[in-house]
């Protein structure tokens, strides 16, 4: 299966939220990475056919998704950034409600719902009202409902936002358990979320795709540009103005600073192996640097 | 054509084997249709696959009314129209350039073959000509496939044939496209 | 000459060379197309959707409908003959349908609709189902009142026709408002406005009731058909656009 966007564009008034995006997805996990307001949500909404594009189109195996209609939605799972729910529904009833809408036969639905609640660790609160759930619990319901119909295409908008570290690990395990025969697209602005799960990463900035490559290749692109240095507070202030800092660690004998720079930032700096975080700050960190 | 109805009913029930049979029966003929229009094997293969996906997607709505083949070509004709629309938006420049080179590089005195000549007449005339002479659809069926009135179709065929003959005789066609 | 043309072109067509496509390549097309084969799973019927939607309608809605129904039936039956039955029905007839639309908007927020939109049976079927429920309720409501009021010397057909005409007309207006604004408050405004204006007119001026009661049956039928067509047409427009409408009271 091949999901593709062709010059996909969305304008809100004279603001261009998504700008001529051309992407092709085949099976695998894709991370959509971009800072706040980059257009991730807008792009995803167009890909699940709930927001009409200003121009361009989304196709599955060459056929526009708007024409596939119900057949497309049948193989689609979507977790929005903001998960809606009926406050007076219990978790089970809500999932059952969506299962009927997804056309899942009722005899299969009950077992599937129990399995999913178990998977996201909410089995014991299945009969509690959603109105009493915490934000993190609602997000886990959001993940569960996206998996109800065993989708071939899974679109998750910031699935890990609001989850605590333990839940993040659980989520990562869920994703890796899903069989390989799917297209999974997840957006985030937290790099560590996708570092170990995404095979390919899309870098989105002000609505434009500025990078689309495998994680390894992206890491390679900043190879030789990531430095570690031990500096004092005074030095750090100067450095912050001049360089892109990707991480600072407070140590007993000073500060361990991670710097992304084409040139050696200071004489005590040593090269170190890059992480996805470095790629992120390299592209999104500071305007002076990333005009490459 | 009883068998065809049976096959389609089986596809409606999700029968993979029946679907394979249907696709294999009509693949070449749909492919040829796109090939006559585009002159490109790659593009025609893509378009043919897309048409079969559409056919399978819409099959539940197909009401065993009229010839299946006519319905199939209605889907194909619509798909081709979308294809041109998309092309025009994005590739006008290339297309124009491509055409220029094409005309320049051809020796005008030599007689062209029909395939090349077809690519030189306007799309809306080429379409009914191919459906009539290659596939043997009646003008009534063509008017249904293309959602146009029958006299319109007849007119287009007449004009198209005149142009084709001129081109085939090696006369300048006076056509910008 | 035409025939000559025909055979000439047909012959040429026979000579056209079409490149071969290998069996493997066709097999690949079959594999891809197989993803789009109809699901053999049992299909959810429209009735199931309706039942499902019934379960999301709040109790308050049913309670209000029932209360108004009983109240108006009693009013028609036992009130003084001064108040015309037709007048009462004209005032109250669109209430269930409009309440249903209000309930639909009130109970949702755009975030819930987003989840519903990506389901196989999406929002179009869902909301149309919901409106059908409202319409059905409304007809039951009208018939109940009519039957209950039939003890008085009134024309059942006339009452039903007037009632449904008003219902369709107001439903039509409410749908326009829903499409354009997508919030429940304006629809409540429409309902309140109708009840106020119509009751003021009717209570002040028996003359108007007179006119309505004296319209020929054919005229009533014509009005009924026009309003039903308007409503159906806009229901269609609504269903067409709904996938991309922002509907619901609660802003995210
Ligand atoms: N309905 C709307 N009307 C007007 N502008 C909008 C609308 N939705 C989004 N935008 C704008 O489009 C841009 C992209 O928004 P979007 O929500 O897609 O970004 P995002 O990458 O998902 O951000 P975040 O990380 O905050 O979720 C933003 O500048 C936003 O203000
Ligand atoms: Mg977002």
The tokens for A22 are: 């051309």
Q: In terms of domains, do B95 and B106 share one? A: no
Q: In terms of domains, do B95 and B105 share one? A: no
Point out the residue among A68, A100, A145 whose CB comes nearest to the CB of C44.
Answer: A100
Query: What is C57-106 written as a DSSP string?
Result: S-HHHHHHHHHHHHHHHHHHHHS-TTS-HHHHHHHHTTHHHHHHHHHHHH
Around Cβ C63, how many Cβ atoms within 10 Å? 10
Using the Cβ of B59 and the Cβ atoms of chain C, whether some distance falls under 8 Å is answered with yes
Q: Is the pLDDT of residue C161 over 90?
A: no
Q: Using 70 as the pLDDT threshold, list the residues of chain A that sit under it.
A: 179, 286-292
- Give the contacts of B104 (CB within 8 A, at least 6 positions apart): none
3-state SS, residue C224: helix
Average pLDDT (C193-200) is: 85
Domain stop point among B68, B84, B99 = B99
Which structural domain range is residue B25 located in? 1-99
Strand partners, A21: A8
Q: In terms of domains, do B128 and B42 share one? A: no
Q: Could you give the C-alpha distances from A171 to A26, A164, A196, in angstroms and in order?
A: 22, 10, 12
Chain A residue with Cα closest to B43: A62
The tokens for A155 are: 């679109």
Point out the residue among A6, A7, A63 whose CB comes nearest to the CB of B54.
Answer: A63
Q: Is the pLDDT of residue C58 over 80?
A: no
The CATH number that applies at residue B154 is 1.10.10.10
Q: Could you give the C-alpha distances from B137 to B39, B78, B130, C10, in angstroms and in order?
A: 21, 17, 9, 13
Is the CB of A246 within 6 Å of ligand 1? no
The CATH number that applies at residue B80 is 1.10.1740.10
Divide the 177 residues of chain B into consecutive groups of 10 and give the mean pLDDT of each group: 78 88 92 88 92 90 80 91 72 40 38 71 86 85 88 89 80 53
Domain stop point among B46, B81, B99 = B99
Q: In terms of domains, do B105 and B77 share one? A: no
CA dist C214 and A233 (Å) reads 93
pLDDT digits (tens, 9 = 90+) for A99-120: 988 888 778 889 999 999 999 9
Q: Determine if the pTM surpasses 0.95.
A: no
Q: In terms of domains, do B167 and B132 share one? A: yes
Q: In terms of domains, do B40 and B55 share one? A: yes
Query: What is B8-64 written as a DSSP string?
Result: HHHHHTT-HHHHHHHHHHHHHHHHHHHHHHH--HHHHHHHHHHHHHHHHHHGGG--S
Tell me how many domains chain B contains: 2
Is the CB of A17 within 6 Å of ligand 1? yes
Contact C93, C229 (CB under 8 A): no
Q: How far is CA A107 from the centre of its chain?
A: 33
- Name the nearest CA neighbour of A1 among A51, A41, A49, A59: A59
Which of the residues A22, A56, A63 would you substitute to probe the B interface, choosing the one with the greatest number of B C-beta atoms within 10 Å?
A63
Domain stop point among B99, B115, B142 = B99
Is the CB of A36 within 6 Å of ligand 1? yes
Using the Cβ of B27 and the Cβ atoms of chain C, whether some distance falls under 8 Å is answered with yes
pLDDT at residue B63 in the model: 81
Chains in contact with B via at least 3 Cβ–Cβ pairs below 8 Å: A, C
Q: In terms of domains, do B24 and B73 share one? A: yes
Instruction: Provide the ipTM.
Output: 0.79
Q: In terms of domains, do B120 and B91 share one? A: no
């Amino acid at each position: 299966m091949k999901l593709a966007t062709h010059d996909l564009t969305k304008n809100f008034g004279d603001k261009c939220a998504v700008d001529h995006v051309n992407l092709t997805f085949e099976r695998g996990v894709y991370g959509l990475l971009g800072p706040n307001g980059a257009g991730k949500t807008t792009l995803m909404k167009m890909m699940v056919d709930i927001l009409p594009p200003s121009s361009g189109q989304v196709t599955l195996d060459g056929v526009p998704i708007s024409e596939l209609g119900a057949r497309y939605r049948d193989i689609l799972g979507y977790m929005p950034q903001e998960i809606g729910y009926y406050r007076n529904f219990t978790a089970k009833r809500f999932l059952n409600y969506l299962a009927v809408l997804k056309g899942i036969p009722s005899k299969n639905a009950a077992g599937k719902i129990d399995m999913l609640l178990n998977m996201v660790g909410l089995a014991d609160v299945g009969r509690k009202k959603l109105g009493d759930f915490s934000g993190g619990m609602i997000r886990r319901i959001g993940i569960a409902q996206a998996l109800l119909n065993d989708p071939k295409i899974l679109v998750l908008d910031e699935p890990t936002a609001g989850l605590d570290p333990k839940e993040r690990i659980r989520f990562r395990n869920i994703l890796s358990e899903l069989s390989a025969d799917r297209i999974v697209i997840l957006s985030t602005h937290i790099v560590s979320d996708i570092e170990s799960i995404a095979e390919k990463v899309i870098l989105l900035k002000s609505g434009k795709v500025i990078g689309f490559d495998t994680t390894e290749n992206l890491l390679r692109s900043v190879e030789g540009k990531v430095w570690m240095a031990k500096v004092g507070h005074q030095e750090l202030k100067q450095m912050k103005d001049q360089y892109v800092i990707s991480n600072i660690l407070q140590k007993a004998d000073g500060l361990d600073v991670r710097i992304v720079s084409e040139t050696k930032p200071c004489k005590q700096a040593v090269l170190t192996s890059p992480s996805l975080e470095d790629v992120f700050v390299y592209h999104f960190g500071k305007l002076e640097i990333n005009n490459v | 054509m009883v068998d065809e109805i049976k096959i389609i009913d089986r596809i409606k029930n999700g029968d993979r084997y029946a679907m394979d049979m249907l696709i294999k029966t009509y693949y070449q003929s749909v492919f040829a249709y796109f090939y006559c229009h585009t002159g490109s094997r790659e593009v025609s293969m893509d378009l043919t696959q897309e048409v079969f996906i559409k056919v399978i997607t819409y099959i539940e709505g197909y009401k065993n009314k009229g010839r299946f083949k006519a319905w199939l070509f209605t889907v194909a004709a619509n798909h081709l129209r979308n294809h041109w629309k998309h092309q025009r938006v994005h590739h006008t420049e290339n297309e124009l350039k491509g055409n220029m080179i094409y005309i320049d590089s051809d020796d005008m005195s030599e007689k062209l073959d029909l395939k090349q000549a077809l690519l030189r007449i306007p799309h809306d005339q080429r379409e009914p000509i191919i459906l009539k002479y290659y596939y043997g659809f009646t003008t009534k069926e063509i008017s249904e496939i293309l959602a146009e009135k029958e006299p319109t179709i007849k007119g287009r065929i007449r004009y198209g044939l005149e142009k084709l003959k001129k081109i085939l005789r090696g006369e300048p066609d006076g056509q910008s496209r | 000459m035409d025939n000559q043309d025909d055979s000439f072109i047909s012959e040429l067509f026979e000579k056209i060379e079409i490149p071969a496509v290998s069996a493997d390549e066709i097999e690949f097309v079959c594999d891809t197309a197989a993803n789009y084969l109809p699901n053999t799973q049992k299909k959810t019927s429209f009735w199931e959707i309706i039942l499902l939607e019934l379960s999301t309608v709040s109790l308050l809605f049913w309670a209000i409908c029932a209360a108004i129904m009983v109240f108006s039936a009693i009013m028609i039956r036992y009130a003084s003959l001064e108040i015309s039955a037709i007048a009462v029905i004209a005032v109250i007839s669109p209430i269930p349908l409009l309440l249903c639309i209000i309930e639909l908007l009130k109970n949702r927020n755009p975030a819930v609709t987003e989840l519903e939109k990506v389901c196989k049976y999406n929002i179009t079927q869902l909301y149309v189902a919901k409106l059908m429920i409202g319409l059905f309720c409304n007809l039951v409501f009208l018939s109940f009142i009519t039957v209950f009021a039939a003890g008085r010397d009134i024309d059942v057909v006339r009452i039903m026709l007037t009632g449904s005409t008003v219902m369709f007309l107001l439903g039509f207006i409410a749908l326009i408002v829903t499409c354009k604004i997508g919030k429940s408050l304006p629809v409540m405004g429409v309902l309140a406005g109708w009840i106020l204006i119509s009751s003021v007119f009717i209570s002040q001026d028996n003359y108007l009731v007179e006119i309505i009661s004296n319209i020929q049956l054919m005229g009533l039928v014509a009005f009924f058909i026009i309003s039903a067509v308007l409503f159906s047409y806009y229901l269609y427009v609504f269903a067409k656009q709904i996938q991309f409408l922002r509907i619901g009271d609660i802003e995210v």
